[in-house]
Amino acid sequence: MKTHGELKGFWERRLQSDWTESGVGYAALGRAFNTWMYRVRAEVFDREAATLPLHLPDARVLDIGSGTGFYVRRWQGLGVKSIVGCDLTAAAVERLRGRFPGVEFHELDIAEPGDTLERGAFDAVSAMDMLFHITDDARYRAALGSVAAALRPGGIFVLSENFLQRPEQRGDHQVNHTLPWITRALDEAGFDVMRRMPMLVLMNAQVDAGPVWRKLWGGLLRAVTLSEWTGGLAGSLLFPLERRLVRVLRESPTTEMMICRRR
């Protein structure tokens, strides 16, 4: 397993060289395809966040792992005026401060935030597409504890994960935990799960599918994204189907979104 310092260095280098959707997304599929993928993510996030039991214009929101600020912009689009963002990397935070001059950003590790984040100060916290990059289980649980500490009682936690219903998968830069493991960790941190829904279905690695389909579809995605032109075309063709699938399916073989409430 990579050390925490090695992982931080990996993300510093990656975001320094590619501060775009592909840098924070599925880099092997290229920027054009990732742009279409993030359009689906945006629709799911906006649809679900708009139904949260919050008065969004007055809510105070913390976005963890802000990256390029994609979800900061989503919260802003929903009318949220008070947003605090944070990221592990200086490469992201420096650029985020330039892109969003009215938003407060901190460079911090959510597993060890120190006293940077005021306890109980936030009505909602988002941690999108980043928890599975915490490869140490103890640090993952510590991150959830930090989220709980930052939220007021009854506050909302919005996250995305892969929620495997197959055996756990471990790599150097990503760990895909099982649904029972994640829900147990959330419960231990003081969260009740409200709902879970697909965020993507076909436009991402099929990590929770059988090995044959996973390999075949992964090979096809990489083949059709060999160039930015073909990747953009593939994304535009898959986009209408993906929009439909994330609305009608209850389970996904890849990334899903979950909404929890702090007890």
Per residue in 190-231, pLDDT tens? 999 999 999 999 999 999 999 999 999 999 999 999 999 999
pTM: 0.96
Give Cα separations from 251 to 103, 179, 185, 199, 203 (angstroms).
35, 12, 20, 10, 15
* Confidence band, pLDDT 50/70/90 cuts, at residue 123: very high
pLDDT at 89 over 80: yes
Give Cα separations from 200 to 162, 189, 251 (angstroms).
10, 26, 10
Continuous H helices in 65-136: 70-77, 90-99
pLDDT at 78 over 90: yes
* Confidence band, pLDDT 50/70/90 cuts, at residue 187: very high
Q: How many residues does the chain have?
A: 263
| Predicted pLDDT at 158 | 98
Give Cα separations from 243 to 37, 41, 47 (angstroms).
10, 9, 12
Question: What is the share, in percent, of the chain residues with pLDDT greater than 70?
Answer: 100
Of 200, 248, 258, 257, nearest to 33 (Cα)?
Answer: 200
Helix, strand, coil: what percent of the chain each, to 5?
50, 20, 30
pLDDT at 111 over 80: yes
| Predicted pLDDT at 48 | 97
| Predicted pLDDT at 242 | 98
| Predicted pLDDT at 7 | 84
pLDDT at 151 over 90: yes
Q: What is the mean pLDDT of residues 57-67?
A: 96
| Predicted pLDDT at 135 | 95
With both helix axes pointing from N to C terminus, report the angle between 30-49 and 228-248 in degrees, rounded to the nearest 10: 20
Report the range of poorest mean pLDDT among 5-19, 64-78, 157-171, 233-247.
5-19
Of 81, 194, 183, nearest to 131 (Cα)?
Answer: 183
* Confidence band, pLDDT 50/70/90 cuts, at residue 108: very high
C-beta of residue 33 within 8 angstroms of C-beta of residue 231? yes
Residues contacting 121, CB < 8 A, separation 6+: 60, 150, 152
Specify the CATH superfamily of domain 4-262.
Vaccinia Virus protein VP39 (3.40.50.150)
| Predicted pLDDT at 223 | 97
Report the range of poorest mean pLDDT among 3-17, 150-164, 167-181, 201-215.
3-17
Q: What is the chain's mean pLDDT, rounded?
A: 96
| Predicted pLDDT at 192 | 98
Measured CA to CA, the distance from residue 84 to residue 183 in angstroms comes to 26
pLDDT at 6 over 90: no
* Confidence band, pLDDT 50/70/90 cuts, at residue 2: confident
Which own/partner contact pairs does 6-11 have at CB distance under 8 Å and 24+ positions apart?
7/133, 7/135, 7/173, 8/88, 8/89, 8/109, 10/173, 11/88, 11/89, 11/91, 11/133
- φ/ψ of 106, rounded to 5, equals -130, 145
